[in-house]
Amino acid sequence: MAEKLTDAQIVEYLRSVPGWSRSGDAISRKFTLKSFPAALMFASTVGHLAEAADHHPDMLIQWKHVTLTLSTHSAGGLTEKDFALAQQVDALPQKA
């Protein structure tokens, strides 16, 4: 099981994922794509990354916007897994 990060560690990790913000025991980011189909494709790609990592975010799709929220529920908060997935998502091509 992944180990929950301390507040100091979370502050450090947040520096590696610009655009993500912390709210309690989760980090989130809203992505804006060029269209609804592009948002669906982006969400699907994130889903494949998440499945490969066995770490599944909450996703909200609203028209051409996708909001991702990451937290390690089994650890009761944020872990390295959340920031690793955030970095993978940030590396995806986004056509705004």
Is 33:67 a contact under the CB 8 Å cutoff?
A: no
What structural domains does the chain harbor? Answer: 7-90 (3.30.1360.20)
Give me the helices (H) in 1-96, please.
Answer: 7-14, 36-53, 80-90
pTM: 0.93
Q: Over the stretch 49-75, which tens digit does the pLDDT of each residue have?
A: 999 999 999 999 999 999 999 999 889
Name 46's Cβ contacts closer than 8 Å, sequence gap at least 6.
57, 59, 66, 68, 89, 92
